[in-house]
Amino acid sequence: MIRNDLRNIAIIAHVDHGKTTLVDQMLKQAGAFRENQVVEERVMDSGDIERERGITILAKNTSVHYKGVKINIVDTPGHADFSGEVERILKMVDGVVLLVDAAEGPMPQTRFVLQKALEFGHKIIIAVNKIDRPDARLNEIGDEVLELLLNLDATDEQLDSPIVYCSGRAGTASMSPNAEGTDLTPLFEQILEHIPAPQVDTDGPTQMLVSSIDYNDYVGRIGIGRIERGSMKVGQQVTVCDYHGTTQPYNAKVVTLYTIEELERKPVDEATAGEIVCFSGIENVTIGETLCDPNTVEPLPFVKISEPTVEMTFSVNDSPFAGREGKFVTSRHLRERLFRELLKDVSLRVNETDTTDSFRVCGRGEMHLSILIENLRREGYEFQVGAPKALFREIDGKTCEPVERMIADVPQDAVGAIMEKMGNRKGELVSMNPKGADRMRLEFLIPARGLFGYRTEFLTDTKGEGVLSSVFHSYQPYKGDISKRTTGSLIAFETGEAVGYGLFNAQERGPLFIGPGTQVYEGMVIGENPRGDDMAVNVCKKKQLTNMRASGSDDALRLIPPRQMSIEAALEFISDDELLEITPKSVRVRKKILSNTERLKKVKGGKK
């Protein structure tokens, strides 16, 4: 049976190319909101961190109705570190809308998500977005996307994909680069015409693949996926099974069932094949499992998610300030929370270590793990993390490491500095093309560990005008040693409260991370030393008050504002002998060995 009343699509693109803004306009023009309703921008970005950072982290479902057809839309993340979200939701759609920025053109993540969509054989609609940008290159973008499709071995049918020219912010679309549309009707028409309606067997035995997991304190775990065959009813008995056989099949009951109507979940008694639904009542269901009719147990194959490339050690906080701010501070709390995260994040790996109070956490990149750290911190957890490390693999007897495809869009006068830094970090130039009158686009293949700590330097070298993005490319033989951070750390000499006089003397040594009144402890990193060695400084030292006065001695002390360290900046900064202490209120960098004398003994012993 062909369900002409239904279309299932995903919107995929590189980060910041306007997916969520376009979904906003699709919802508005399809009548999802009342005329007088106050609607936030990027309504699909519902998480606090998503709204603060302006990025999508979790794939989310919505739907609109157009000409009597229900269009299920999945809004996906564009950042490479969350590409596991994109890989798994492609299983529940029949086609994709590929969004490309009219000025930037195809970027690394555009290539990645498009490649995954082509592997599934999905139909593609190319939407050139932000056509109202002053630097838009409308006539060239189509050729660049076609070139990308050719590189990825697209079929003839996929090469003939329609191109729609949109402005997500203005809510317009047209089929010609030269004509400005009035609304999104051309895009809706292409979805109905080009994306195939689901071809399903509505009378067969139930079969549904779980592609996403949500959690709710009232009903527990909620599974989301598309019914592949038959129908599903509230109260129905099903068998939960796994294609790879990692878990034993078991029987369960569907307690509640919802379809997605615009921004809400609507309870229904029954849903048929082709529809994307949410269900609850099965406590241990996970992504990749299949719900089947107990009499016909046929698990569906689930896409193998790409492996993580970066690992970090999460451990219990043992600093002198441990337990002051956090609600969950023990290893049991940390372990439970990390393993709970595994249930909904398929790109994450958590392994036990030799000690009970630390865990190896592997993810797609620094951003992926820093968002996890930020979430734990906001929930009241207190812990420490080590410096990120690349995950090596043994392939054909050779040690191999993850290599990233990095694209840098920079002003022409910064090209020399970028080339020099890339050379030191084992980066290999793939292509170099002029972009506009005064910018260059450089493409490198660089080991993942070569990018650790580079983004800050990149912004400095390009005076804040550069755009840097990267995506996993492949595993390649080990490229050799890469020199670590060239600067040292300024370390607090004693425990106490930082005062203006001590900070004034310390700031001559290098930029500081703390201001007056900050509580510090011995071994805490309070600044950066440009000379390359670690140096202990006493920021708690007060000015001696005597009755002697000299001209100029009482001048006001001018303190340079401290550098505020975000979690990402701190992860880039820390070296192998340092840890990042995370609490709900503070982010502190510290040495693994806190005692200054013990640390000096170890350094001298190492030199001998």
Binding annotation for GTP:
16-21, 129-132
- Record the tokens describing residue 483, joined without a space: 């020199």
Q: Which among 606, 236, 587 is positioned nearest to 384, based on CA atoms?
A: 587
DSSP 524-566: EEEEEETTSS-EEE-TTPPPPP-S---TTTTSPP-PPPPPPPP
C-alpha span between 584 and 327 (Å, rounded): 9
Q: Which residues are annotated as a binding site?
A: 16-21, 129-132
- In this structure, how many other beta carbons lie within 10 angstroms of the beta carbon of residue 102? 23
User: HEC states along 379-412?
Assistant: CCECEEEECCEECCEEECCEEEEEEEEEEEEEEH
C-alpha span between 2 and 274 (Å, rounded): 9
Q: Which among 524, 530, 535, 529 is positioned nearest to 498, based on CA atoms?
A: 524
C-alpha span between 333 and 329 (Å, rounded): 7
User: What single-letter amino acid sits at 5?
Assistant: D
DSSP 322-367: TTSS-SB-SHHHHHHHHHHHHTT-TT-EEEE-SSTTEEEEEESSHH
- Record the tokens describing residue 306, joined without a space: 């790409």
> How are beta strands 6-13 and 95-101 bridged, if at all?
parallel
Rama region for 413: left / alpha / beta (φ>0; ψ in -120 to 50; rest): alpha
In degrees, rounded to 5, the angle at the alpha carbon of residue 73 between the alpha carbons of residues 156 and 106 is: 50
- Record the tokens describing residue 348, joined without a space: 């994450």
Q: How far is CA 523 from CA 150, 319, 320, 492, in A?
A: 55, 9, 10, 6
DSSP 405-471: EEEEEEEGGGHHHHHHHHHHTT-EEEEEEEETTTEEEEEEEEEGGGGTTHHHHHHHHTTT--EEEEE
C-alpha span between 159 and 149 (Å, rounded): 7
- Record the tokens describing residue 91, joined without a space: 């299983």
Phi, psi (degrees; rounded to nearest 5) at 195: -80, 125
Token pair 């071994």: residue:
523
HSE-CB at 318 with a 13 A cutoff on CA atoms is: 11
